Structures are given as C-alpha cells and as structure tokens.
Amino acid sequence: MPSNAERMDGSDNNCIARPDFERVQRKGVPEVILAEHKSTEEALTIARQFLAVEGRAILSRVSEELKARLCEEFRQEATLEWYPRARAAVLRKHGMVRSDSGGRVGILTAGTSDIPRAEEAALICREMGCTVFTAYDVGVAGLHRLFEPLQNMVEREKVDVLIVVAGMDGALPSVVAGLVPVPVIGLPTSVGYGLGGDGTAALLSMLQTCAPGLVVVNIDNGIGAGAAAGMIANRVAAARKG
C-alpha cells in the first residue's frame, strides 16, 4: 500500500503526550496513566517516560494485552506490582521503596462488587505514603454488619478521612457521614440495574445527602477518591508532625 500519509502528514506531530513530571512535587499526588482510552503503545511510551524520570509509573484500567507487555518490557529494571481486582499496576525501579507519610485512610464498601474501585483508591493512597484500613460488604441492607468495623476504624485506628464506596442505592456514605466526625468521600460505582443502574442513582443520592461533611467524586473514579483522601490525610499527618 503506497501509504506515505503516516510519514508526511497529520502525523508529523510526534509529541503525543507531555507528562506532568512535576505534578508529584507540585500537588503531592503522582500522575496515574489512565490506560483505557490509549493504545497499548501510547501507554507503554508514557510509562517508560515516568519510570525514567520518577522511578515509578502507575497505570489504571490495564488491558490483558498491556499487562503482558508491561511484564515483558520492564522486567530488567523494575518490579511490577499487579492489583488484579482493580486491574491496576505499579512499576517501581529496583531498589526504590514506597515512602511513609503517616496519613491514615479508611475505606468501606457497600457490596462485594464495589471492591475493584476500593482497591483503586487504596493503591493511590498507599503510593502517597498512607496506611489504609479496609472493610468490605457492609452496606445498608444489613446495617448490623457496619457498626463494628466503622467504630474500629474511627476510634481505634483513628483514620483521618474515610472513603465510602457504594453502587445501587448509594445509601451507605450518607449513613456513615451521619455517624462519625471524620470527613467522608463518597465514591459511587456503576454497580446496579435498570434506571440509574450505571451509577447515576448512587451518585445522585450522595449529592443529595442530608448528612454534613460528605463530598463526592464521579462514578467509578477510584483514583480521584484516593488522591483526594491522600491529600487530606497527608495534610493532617504533616500537621501532626508539626
């Protein structure tokens, strides 16, 4: 095929990404490569850039194909940590270790199906140096399952912030925010059926909460919930250190 288009035309712009290497300094939050809307080659290219500059690359929504390529390409220079439920990966240069910020984050889910998003949030909190405490499948259809793990997190582990993950009716974050004196981030998930079952019902219910101190992120945005929680927890931790 006489396709000279690729070399002479629209594609003469070889710069497809301008990774924001200073973000981790400027914001205290590492950039995460959302692989979902990118080709495998694009994701690999950007991962390579981050690994070179920062010694770490974090990727979310990783396809089977991309996962295999990550394993293969970076075997020599980095460890690959794989989070199967979240389908997320952390590449870390050999010899590098995760810092410890002192921040403390609690994560609750309403159901089993919400766990992938909870793990996504946990991952980013940990990469920001936080300790994460989790309790899964404690939703409002059986309230008696909630009280003990919640009290444990708040009073014994003294978390600085809570992420509450829920799909379907999205009621758990409101119930939790009504009970404890800790900022709560509601993370709605696309677990549901029928009208509003793409996470809209859960998101709207959280936005309409009658409990004070509940803020939200978009449906299935585990990374965003984790980044916000990490920032809050690390700020409190920094103040604790004085």
Task: Please give the residues from 202 up to 241 whose contact with a second copy meets the rule CB under 8 A.
Answer: 202-221, 223-225, 227-228, 231-232, 235-237, 239-240
Q: What is the phi/psi pair of residue 166, to 5°?
A: -155, 140
Among 64, 95, 97, 142, contact with a second copy (rule: CB under 8 A): 142
For a second copy, the closer of residues 57 and 228 by Cβ is 228
Contacting a second copy within 163-192 (CB under 8 A): 167-171, 174-175, 177-183, 185, 188, 190-192
Among 52, 63, 65, 85, contact with a second copy (rule: CB under 8 A): 85
Question: Is the Cα dihedral 191, 194, 199, 202 positive or negative?
Answer: negative
What is the smallest separation between the CB atom of 54 and a second copy, expressed in angstroms?
15
Q: Which two tokens stand for residue 210?
A: 């009658």
If one counts every other C-beta atom within 10 angstroms of the C-beta of residue 98, the result is 13
What is the smallest separation between the CB atom of 107 and a second copy, expressed in angstroms?
9
Contacting a second copy within 47-66 (CB under 8 A): none
Contact 224, 217 (CB under 8 A): yes
If one counts every other C-beta atom within 10 angstroms of the C-beta of residue 25, the result is 8
According to DSSP, the residues that pair with 161 across neighbouring strands are 105
Question: Is the Cα dihedral 165, 60, 31, 80 positive or negative?
Answer: positive
For a second copy, the closer of residues 52 and 204 by Cβ is 204
Contacting a second copy within 92-131 (CB under 8 A): 110-113, 115, 119, 122-123, 126
